[in-house]
Amino acid sequence: MAIPKPTTPPKLMDRVRHACRLRHFSRRTEEAYCHWIRRFIVFHGKRHPEELGDDAIVAFLTSLATVREVSASTQNQARSAILFLYQNVLRRPVQGLPGLVRPTEPARLPVVLSREEVRRLLAAMHGTPKLVATLLYGAGLRLTEALELRVKDIDMDRAQIVVRRGKGRKDRQTMLPAIVAPLLQHHLVRVKVVHESDVASGCGHVVLPAALAAKFKGASISWAWQFVFPAARMCTDPRTGQPTRFHLHETAIQRAVTEAVRAAGITKRASCHTLRHSFATHLLEDGYDIRTVQELLGHSDVSTTMIYTHVLNRGGMGVRSPADRL
């Protein structure tokens, strides 16, 4: 009778990934949690977290604020990752973390470009990055939302885009700008040629959310589920081991926008997200209802959208300066 070999317990980071996938966390959340847990382990001399107490958590998070001088949102992300590790992976409750030093987050107004600055920025771009940037401004999309669009999410007939699993894992609808529609159609023709070539070579599988690959057989190679903005190179899906063509990496668009800002002579600290801020502000300037803008942006609370009323192109708080009456 053969003696069964003892099974090796899974490594800590594998347990973290498994716990994230059980809860259907996004790939970005999973990567962020793994990143902060590794930082936590290295900070304490690569000791196993089971050997560390609450004071070790406080020491790590406090060092982020006092030594690394990270923002409050960055520390909150690190805190969430460490608490997830102890509560959901190690099954060890964490107390209130007394003595934790937390940085204060000052209230900041978003950077908004004028319409002329948006024209100059887009004029300095070309190719797929320009198409993505136009969608960020024209539809108010976040960068990840634009890059994660699937072919089935574009409705040319109704001139709308369906954002799936946006921030907070919420779906919403927004407009498809008329200026983008013909460019997007031409872009999809070229993408479909690449996809058909991938399928002919035995590849063509795309990453699907949750358990859709098991539920819908053949969906991973169907045209409808392909990314609108696929990457130029094939890669290996870490979850299935299959060769796949993932969407464009965020840094490709971020780099193109940064270069365009410089080429356009824009002195504001503009980024991809600035185009979304500009979308909301310009809609309010055009007189659209703030509730409509809230729905297009996907904000849960209208108070989040209200910040754009403070940066409208009407002077400080919409008041005319008395100097202009002299």
Query: pLDDT per residue over 79-115, tens digit each?
Result: 999 999 999 999 998 887 888 877 777 777 889 999 9
Q: How far is CA 97 from the centre of its chain?
A: 29
Would you call 35 a catalytic residue per the annotation?
A: no
Query: Quick check: 302 and 308 in contact, CB under 8 A?
Result: no
Which has more pLDDT, 213 or 301? 301
| pTM (two decimals) | 0.79
> Using CA atoms, how far apart are residues 49 and 326, in angstroms rounded to an integer?
68
Which has more pLDDT, 111 or 311? 111
> Using CA atoms, how far apart are residues 152 and 227, in angstroms rounded to an integer?
9
Query: Quick check: 214 and 178 in contact, CB under 8 A?
Result: no
Would you call 150 a catalytic residue per the annotation?
A: no
Domains in the chain and their CATH numbers? 12-89 (1.10.150.130), 115-310 (1.10.443.10)
> Using CA atoms, how far apart are residues 281 and 97, in angstroms rounded to an integer?
40
Which whole-number Å values give the CA distances from 281 to 112, 273, 287, in the listed order?
A: 7, 13, 10
- In 3D, which of 233, 264, 283, 286 has the Cα closest to residue 130? 264
Query: pLDDT, tens digit, for every residue of 224-238?
Result: 999 999 998 888 776
Catalytic one among 308, 310, 314, 320? Answer: 308
Would you call 276 a catalytic residue per the annotation?
A: yes
Which residue carries 């590790």 as its tokens? 85
- What percent of the chain stands above pLDDT 90? 55
> Using CA atoms, how far apart are residues 85 and 34, in angstroms rounded to an integer?
9
Neighbours of 197 (CB within 10 A): 11
Q: What is the pLDDT of residue 316?
A: 46
Looking at residue 286, its amino acid is: D
Catalytic one among 130, 142, 245, 247? Answer: 142
- In 3D, which of 25, 26, 27 has the Cα closest to residue 235? 27
Would you call 47 a catalytic residue per the annotation?
A: no
Look at residue 29 and tell me whether its pLDDT is greater than 60: yes
**Dihedral over Cα of 47, 53, 57, 59: its sign:** negative
Joined tokens for residue 3: 């003696």
Look at residue 1 and tell me whether its pLDDT is greater than 60: no
Looking at residue 35, its amino acid is: H
Query: Quick check: 180 and 134 in contact, CB under 8 A?
Result: yes
Catalytic one among 15, 27, 102, 273? Answer: 273
Catalytic one among 152, 167, 172, 187? Answer: 167
> Using CA atoms, how far apart are residues 219 and 95, in angstroms rounded to an integer?
45
Query: pLDDT, tens digit, for every residue of 108-166?
Result: 788 999 999 999 999 999 999 999 999 999 999 999 999 999 999 999 999 999 998 77
Catalytic one among 79, 150, 276, 277? Answer: 276
Look at residue 40 and tell me whether its pLDDT is greater than 80: yes
Would you call 46 a catalytic residue per the annotation?
A: no
Would you call 33 a catalytic residue per the annotation?
A: no
Query: pLDDT, tens digit, for every residue of 165-176?
Result: 777 778 899 999
Query: Quick check: 159 and 178 in contact, CB under 8 A?
Result: yes
- Interstrand relation of 243-244 and 235-236 (parallel, antiparallel or unpaired): antiparallel
Which has more pLDDT, 64 or 202? 64
> Using CA atoms, how far apart are residues 147 and 28, in angstroms rounded to an integer?
13
